[in-house]
Chains A and B, each alone.
Chain A
């Protein structure tokens, strides 16, 4: 059971490319293949993973593992998920150490950086469409942006403040 859980999440860590939500189709497959959790439970899992702190993909793995076989399951699934990243990134980082000052790498990043900024903007816009739904939300967002831009406090403080304001204004 534990080795199956580990292997399945190792596979997800190896083949899921990109943001946290890309693990979702893999988890649907798991709900089909095993009786670990139902697809209905999976929908709840997504809601939880999105609304608790931490990267969504990691939250999904921990919760799915917990559903399957308790606390140990949560640990095993999370470990399985991150192990491929750990191995692959360490290998890439070793290679990068050698070539990071090369002309080729600089040219590569010269082109990739603008694309990545576009992708982040796209992600921000997607979330923005869901969250900035009325003039209230938009004005609060602009006020926060002003504060963030001109009074440079740690983002953690703004995030906490956002939570408090959300409760105070019943957003």
Chain B
């Protein structure tokens, strides 16, 4: 189990290009659909909490998932899994890094990959939308959050905290 966890997160780390948001499609495919370790909703929970707790989102989500599946050891192995590809790749190319930045093939490959990452993210957004936004209140929170993020480039932390307050007020019994 621990090695399985490490390996799944290693794969996610190896193919995450960009920030924490870029790992969501991979997490869903690997942890929800392939391994059936988590429910879709749980990933949303972990991502939501990981976004407003200290640290890199990707690491937070990995630690969370690992802990849920196999306790503290699980948390450590999942976190090791997510950072190991970075460590191996960065340390092995660090000395000759300019060869990679200036390499036109790499540039073309990354441009292609970025397009795919966007397609993957939008697909995940559609799925999340269908499963998580069901009421008018939720629709309202979605629209207001989006406008605040777009117009004021507010920190995600404040958007999440603000939504939490508004939500608790509106769902008061």
Contact = CB atoms under 8 A, between A and B. Distances in A.
Contacts of B171: 107, 110-111
A2 interface: no
Interface in A91-133: 92-93, 96, 100, 107-125, 127-128, 130-132
Given A111-B166, A118-B145, A167-B112, A20 B160 contact: no
Band of interface residues on B? 35 or more
A7 interface: no
A155 B121 contact: no
Interface string A34-56: 00000000001001111111111
A124 B118 contact: yes
B15 interface: yes
Most buried by B among A18, A48, A55: A55
Interface of A: prevailing SS: helix
The number of chain A residues touching the other chain, given as a range, is 35 or more
Nearest to A120: B21
Residue among B11, B58, B137 with max Cβ neighbours from chain A (10 Å):
B58
A66 B56 contact: no
B47 interface: yes
A149 interface: yes
Contacts of A92: 49, 53, 64
Contacts of A74: 87, 90-91, 94
A82 to B, nearest CB: 5
A17 B113 CA distance: 27
B135 to A, nearest CB: 8
Contact of A85 (B11, B15, B63): B63
Contacts of B128: 113, 117, 120
A18 B44 contact: no
B1 interface: no
B83 interface: yes
A156 B26 contact: yes
B109 A163 contact: yes
Interface in A139-171: 140-142, 144-145, 148-149, 152, 154-156, 158-159, 161-167, 169-171
A1 interface: no
Contacts of A159: 15, 17, 113, 116-117, 120
16 contacts: A13-B54, A50-B18, A54-B13, A59-B90, A62-B90, A85-B55, A85-B56, A88-B55, A107-B168, A113-B128, A115-B48, A115-B142, A115-B164, A117-B128, A120-B21, A162-B113
